[in-house]
Structure 1
């Protein structure tokens, strides 16, 4: 190999190495962008899951505003210490014990 062809080979190799370095740099930037986007999506997913859990908890907790006016009246009677179920309707609840039948009458059908 003569000096001229050796010099040309080095020049060619230098150009190829620069191209390879540029490609490597572009790939590194692309990977960085993908990692950032992935992290962003993971955080968003985590927030959405938490929001769904919060909504699910709210959905299973009966609230006064979800009750009809008649059920709110029954609830008021129940809170005053009277049964509102068909088994013992109008009787005083002893020591304000809870009654599963009354609870079902007030809140039960809303969940069905």
Structure 2
């Protein structure tokens, strides 16, 4: 094997190792960002769960009308046509008429 070709192979390998090192650094940074975002989301989720639990305790003492209104505001149907399913197309006239009757 020629010394020149051996030197070229080593130089190419060194260049590829450098590229891999840069790629590894980029991946490490992405992983770090994802870990930080995951921790932030976990804290936020815990806070929301605590707030939801407090709200649920408060609502337990509320009237049935208040509970139905809360369910409707959370995006669910309260009418007898689609009770409990998600409202995907804005307001529901059946639900609104039910709220107004009560």
TM-score using structure 2 length: 0.58
Deviations 1:27-46 (A, max 9, x none): 01001100110110011000
- Report the CA distance between 1:60 and its aligned residue: 1.9
Greater gyration radius: 1
Give the number of aligned pairs.
Answer: 62
What SS class does the counterpart of residue 51 from structure 1 fall into?
A: helix
Which sections of structure 2, spanning at least 5 residues, go unmatched?
A: 63-102
Cα RMSD after superposing both structures: 1.0
Aligned residue number for residue 45 of structure 2:
45
Unpaired stretches in structure 1, ≥5 consecutive residues? 63-112
Q: CA deviation at 1:8?
A: 0.6
Higher relative contact order (CA 8 A, sep 6+): 1
Quote how far apart the aligned CAs of 1:61 are: 3.4
Name segments (4+ residues, structure 1) moved above 4 Å: none
Q: Give the alignment's TM-score, normalised by structure 1.
A: 0.53
